Every structure is written in C-alpha cells, then in structure tokens.
Amino acid sequence: MLHITDQIAIQDWELTEQFIRASGPGGQNVNKVSSAVELRFEAERSPNLPAPVKTRLRRLAGRRWTKEGAVVLQCDETRSQTRNREIVRERLADLIRQALIAPKRRVATKPTLGSQKRRLAAKKQRGAVKALRGQVEGEE
C-alpha cells in the first residue's frame, strides 16, 4: 500500500512493477541484473482518486499516460533494484500530490486608469520617435 495523504492510499492491486535491465554505465552488472523498475499505476480504474484528480493527473502525466488509463513511470538511476523501487514509488506519490492541488480560478480585472494613460503616452512617444526617421531632404 502506498500512502499519498491521510485520506488517499493506493492499493497494491493498482500497482504493477516490472524489472528490466538498465541502460548506461555499470559494466557487467548492467548485462546480468534487472535493476531498472517500470511502475504501472491503473489510475483510471482507481477507486481512491476522485474524477477531477484523475483529469489533472492525466494532464500532468503527459506521455506517461497510456490509452488504457494507466500511468507508467520508469527509474534506472541507481544500481540497486530496491532503491529504484523506492524512487519510482515516491515519484508516483509526488505526481498524485500535484494532481490533488486544484488550480486557482483567475479573476478577470480591468486595467487601472493610470496604467491606460501611461500605455497611451508611451505609444505616442514611440510614434514620435518613429516619425523623425523619415528621409532627409535637401542634402546632395
């Protein structure tokens, strides 16, 4: 069981771990040991996540979200399989915690009268500078 918050915990049946060989340096160890971890979380079928959280998680996961509605995370940072498992589980928990935060609604505001006047004064000044850039007459 993976605890996200006090109210939300992910059950073991929702998580699938697969161990694969890691890429990169490590010598003979890379060729022999499957230390990289691929964690699959069935987010769409999870009864523990509310619908708005699932939609935010889908947007946050991006390419890691599959067509079946699962989040797939990989980790091959360390040579230790157990450490890679801990890292990938913590990444999943962080991703879900980010999805729990509802974005604030933007309140539309009008520009102040002073800012409008300053904007127009700057436009006039810029126009005056450009007006002085005409061709010079009478020099030959």
Domain that holds residue 75: 2-100
Provide the number of structural domains found in the chain. Answer: 1
Q: Return mean pLDDT, the chain.
A: 86
Q: Over the stretch 56-68, which tens digit does the pLDDT of each residue have?
A: 999 998 899 989 8
Question: Is 116 part of a structural domain of the chain?
Answer: no
CATH code of the domain containing 6: 3.30.160.20
Question: Is 132 part of a structural domain of the chain?
Answer: no
Question: Is 42 part of a structural domain of the chain?
Answer: yes
Question: Is 123 part of a structural domain of the chain?
Answer: no
Position 20 pLDDT exceeds 80: yes
Burial 16-53 (b: 16+ CB within 10 A, else e): eeeeeebeeebeeebeeeebbbbbbbbbeebeebeeeb
pLDDT at 33: 77
Question: Is 41 part of a structural domain of the chain?
Answer: yes
Question: Is 54 part of a structural domain of the chain?
Answer: yes
Q: Over the stretch 114-138, which tens digit does the pLDDT of each residue have?
A: 999 999 999 999 999 999 897 777 6
Question: Is 20 part of a structural domain of the chain?
Answer: yes
pLDDT category at 3 given cuts 50, 70, 90 is confident
Question: Is 72 part of a structural domain of the chain?
Answer: yes
pTM flag (> 0.75): no
Q: Over the stretch 24-50, which tens digit does the pLDDT of each residue have?
A: 666 676 677 788 888 999 888 888 888
